[in-house]
């Protein structure tokens, strides 16, 4: 069943079309172009059937507006002036088809069904194109576990939208990889990707770096310069280490993002901000807001769509996947025949906490490939820090100090919540998000499982392929 909007100023005509099409489809009607276009703007119609002669606008103008407002909606024009020229004009203007009044119900039905068929073909072609593009952008980002699946899901959902994204995560977790994936997978991929490290530019230069400056704007500005916002154009501006941006600049950036325009240093004229913004930080910005080092208004403006990257130690099996990947890359790069790990080396990798996350793993693998004598990386090829972690207790992920400050009872509660989460995550992974199967394995009712999932803040949908 398709959603169809009919615009015709004659009530009898509207009633007739509604009767003919209403059997198989959901039909809305409008008596003039103004009302019709308002309806079109507020709902997703598959098809617009419009009279050419309307009291306020002619049908070709409606067609042009519809193309802009709802490019996915097919259009069929109806007219009493069945001339060849009008038909040609309609097709040129992007209407799929044209019915000449008076028409038989079957003529209308046939034209409408052809238009709808074309719409569904186009929608499928577009979906296929989008899926390819998304895969392209996400290929660089490895990880099959639930945590990274969720990150990938979040990227796919947002990449085509003009929404500001805030990527957070410990150092080396892949924040820049995510920013690039959003750009690559999204509609702006052909436009520039411009990265700014807000923490690496001297404070007195950041403003002119971001916004540009005129000639003579300050001592040493002997030439005008475009800023990075302008260089990004309609592409993506990646504001890396946004937590390190000085307060004064936070105010200026917030204003630019709020008003979608900015001024070059030394210039009165306002220029538009067209770029999509992706920001990243390893800091806890909420804490920075509380501490007064980060502006709350800027935080809210950036925190529209947060993507939190999990630390490597919370990614389960992905650790080995990444380790093998980096081992392979390093072996090829250094021309060394290293292909795997000894079981002891694997155990050591698994026990270590990886404070430097993926980047640390990458460097560790490069070093190991250089040191390895045989085809396998052994414990001797790993840094002391990695090996000494292997000797002690298996380390719990997350905050040890808080645990040490808990009462016995709170510690048990904490452990139970974590165990529950680990357990549910494992179940959902095994059954790929199928709650019925997972509940059966767990030996509990589906409803109970749903309750536990809510408690553990897990969403079965994220585990489905």
Residue 176 touching Mg ion (CB under 5 A): yes
| Backbone dihedral angles phi then psi of residue 248, each to the nearest 5 degrees | -60, -40
Please name the residue ranges forming H helices in 201-356. Answer: 203-211, 228-232, 247-259, 285-291, 296-302, 318-334, 343-351
**Stretch touching ligand ATP by CB under 6 A, among 166-174, 285-293, 374-382, 390-398:** 166-174
**Non-local CB neighbours of 254 within 8 Å, separated by 6+ positions:** 295, 297, 298, 301
Q: Under rule CB under 6 A, how many of the chain's residues touch ligand ATP?
A: 15
The closest residue (CB) to Mg ion is: 176
**Rg of the chain in Å (alpha carbons):** 29
Residues 277-296 touching ligand ATP, rule: CB under 6 A, are 282
Using rule CB under 6 A, residue 362 touches ligand ATP: yes
Which CB, 142 or 390, lies closer to Mg ion?
142
278 bridge partner residues: 165, 238
143 near ligand ATP, rule: CB under 6 A: yes
Q: Would you say 138 or 379 has its CB closer to ligand ATP? A: 138
State the pairing for strand pair 212-213/225-226.
Answer: antiparallel
> Between residues 137 and 174, which has the closer beta carbon with respect to ligand ATP?
174
d(CA 35, CA 40): 9
Place of tokens 């704007």: 217
**Among positions 14, 134, 152, 175, the unique one binding ligand ATP when judged by CB under 6 A:** 175
Nearest residue to ligand ATP, using CB?
Answer: 174
Bridge partners for 99 per DSSP? 78
Please choose which of Mg ion, ligand ATP, none residue 282 contacts, taking the beta carbon within 5 to 8 angstroms, the exact cut-off set by kind.
Answer: ligand ATP
**C-beta of 33 vs 279, nearer to Mg ion:** 279
Query: Is 141 one of the binding residues for ligand ATP (CB under 6 A)?
Result: yes
If one asks whether residue 243 binds ligand ATP (CB under 6 A), the answer comes out as no
Beta strand spans in 263-403 (E): 271-272, 276-281, 305-308, 340-341, 376-377
Q: Which of these ranges, 68-76, 176-184, 228-236, 259-267, lies near Mg ion under the rule CB under 5 A?
A: 176-184
Q: Which is nearer to ligand ATP, 149 or 342 (CB)?
A: 149
User: Taking the complex as a whole, how short is the minimal distance between the CB of residue 169 and Mg ion, in angstroms?
Assistant: 9
Question: How near is the Cβ of 140 to ligand ATP at its closest, in Å?
Answer: 6
Candidates 76-84, 168-176, 448-456, 457-465; binding stretch for Mg ion (CB under 5 A):
168-176
- C-alpha 36/C-alpha 66 separation (Å) is 10
Q: Which of 295, 283, 224, 314 is nearest to 257 (CA)?
A: 295
Q: What is the DSSP letter of 160?
A: T
% helix, strand, coil for the chain, step of 5:
55, 15, 35
Spatial CA neighbour of 2 closest among 105, 106, 109? 109
Rounded to whole angstroms, the Cα distance separating 428 from 424 reads: 6
Q: Does 29 bind ligand ATP (CB under 6 A)?
A: no
Element (H, E) at 235: none
Least distance in angstroms from the C-beta of 323 to Mg ion: 21
What six digits make up the tokens of 225? Answer: 């310069």
Nearer Cβ to ligand ATP (174/227)? 174
User: Contact between 99 and ligand ATP (CB under 6 A)?
Assistant: no
Q: Cβ 122 to ligand ATP, closest distance in Å?
A: 34
**Is 170 a residue that touches Mg ion (CB under 5 A)?**
no
Q: Is the dihedral of CA 453, 454, 456, 462 positive or negative?
A: positive
Q: Hey, CA dihedral for 214, 216, 220, 224, is it positive or negative?
A: positive
Instruction: Please report how close the Cβ of residue 243 comes to ligand ATP at its closest, in angstroms.
Output: 11
Q: Which stretch binds ligand ATP (CB under 6 A): 21-29, 88-96, 128-136, 139-147?
A: 139-147
Contacts of 85 (CB under 8 A, 6+ apart): none
Q: Shortest Cβ distance from residue 424 to ligand ATP (Å)?
A: 23
Stretch that binds Mg ion, among 87-95, 171-179, 257-265, 432-440 (CB under 5 A): 171-179
Binding site for ligand ATP (CB under 6 A): 141-143, 169, 171-177, 282, 358-359, 362
Binding site for Mg ion (CB under 5 A): 175-176
């Amino acid at each position: 069943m398709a959603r169809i909007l009919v615009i015709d100023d004659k009530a009898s005509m509207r009633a007739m079309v509604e009767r003919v099409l209403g059997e198989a489809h959901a039909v809305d009607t409008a008596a003039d172009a103004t009302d019709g276009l308002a309806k079109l703007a507020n709902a997703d119609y598959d098809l617009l059937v419009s009279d050419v002669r309307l009291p306020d606008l002619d049908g070709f103008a409606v067609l042009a507006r519809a193309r802009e407002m709802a490019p996915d909606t097919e259009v069929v024009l109806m007219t009493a002036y069945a001339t060849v020229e009008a038909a040609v004009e309609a097709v040129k203007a992007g209407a799929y088809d044209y019915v000449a009044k008076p028409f038989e119900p079957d003529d209308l039905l046939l034209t409408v069904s052809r238009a709808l068929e074309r719409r569904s073909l186009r929608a499928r072609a577009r979906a296929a194109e989008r899926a390819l593009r998304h895969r392209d952008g996400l290929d660089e980002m490895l990880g099959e576990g639930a945590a990274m699946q969720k990150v990938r899901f979040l990227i796919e959902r947002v990449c085509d939208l003009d929404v500001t994204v805030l990527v957070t995560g410990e150092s080396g977790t892949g924040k820049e990889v995510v920013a690039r994936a959003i750009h690559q997978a999204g509609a702006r991929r052909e436009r520039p990707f411009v990265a700014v490290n807000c923490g690496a530019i001297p404070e007195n230069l950041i403003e002119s770096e971001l916004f540009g400056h005129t000639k003579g704007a300050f001592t040493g500005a002997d030439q005008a310069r475009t800023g990075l916002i302008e260089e990004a154009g309609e592409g993506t501006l990646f504001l890396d280490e946004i937590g390190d941006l000085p307060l004064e600049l936070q105010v200026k950036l917030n204003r630019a993002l709020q008003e979608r325009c900015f001024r070059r240093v030394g210039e009165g004229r306002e220029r538009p901000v067209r770029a999509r913004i992706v920001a990243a930080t390893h800091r806890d910005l909420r804490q920075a807001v509380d501490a007064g080092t980060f502006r709350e208004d800027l935080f809210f403006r950036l925190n529209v769509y947060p993507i939190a990257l999990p630390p490597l130690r919370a990614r389960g099996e992905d650790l080995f996947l990444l380790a093998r990947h980096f081992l392979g890359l390093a072996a090829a790069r250094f021309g060394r025949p290293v292909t795997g790990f000894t079981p002891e080396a694997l155990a050591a990798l698994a026990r270590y906490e990886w404070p430097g996350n993926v980047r640390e793993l990458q460097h560790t693998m490069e070093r190991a490939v250089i040191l390895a004598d045989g085809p396998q990386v052994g414990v001797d090829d790993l840094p002391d820090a990695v090996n000494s972690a292997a000797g002690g207790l298996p380390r719990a992920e997350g905050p040890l100090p808080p645990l040490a400050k808990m009462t016995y009872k709170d510690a048990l509660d904490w452990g139970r919540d974590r165990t529950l989460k680990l357990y549910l995550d494992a179940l959902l992974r095994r059954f790929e998000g199928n709650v019925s199967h997972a509940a059966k394995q767990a030996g509990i009712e589906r409803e109970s499982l749903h309750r536990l999932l809510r408690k553990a803040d897990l969403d079965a949908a994220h585990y489905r392929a």
